[in-house]
Amino acid sequence: MNKIMVFFDREGNTLDVWFEKPRKIISEETGEEVILKKDPKTNKVIGFEKLNFISSKIKPNELPVEVIVN
């Protein structure tokens, strides 16, 4: 079973999600405050970073996360 690593940076207000072990990547901006993290050899998405993760509407101790498992 693969592990998903999730890191929240409170100061930067970003959420980093890795589907594989973090390593050197190629970044691709989606234009929706999401940066895809791609393996430079295969171009496969191995993670993403969500910018401005917590809006001012959310209470400080809540993290809105939706998980879908197939």
The neighbour count for residue 47, using CB atoms within 10 Å, is 22
The 10s digit of each residue's pLDDT in 3-39 is 899 999 989 999 999 999 999 999 999 988 999 999 9
DSSP designation for 20: S
* Beta carbons within 8 Å of 48's beta carbon, 6+ residues apart: 16, 17, 34, 35, 36, 37
**Euclidean distance between CA atoms 35 and 12, whole angstroms:** 14
pLDDT (tens digit per residue) in 35-69: 999 999 999 999 999 999 887 666 666 666 666 66
Q: How far apart are CA 22 and CA 50, in angstroms?
A: 16
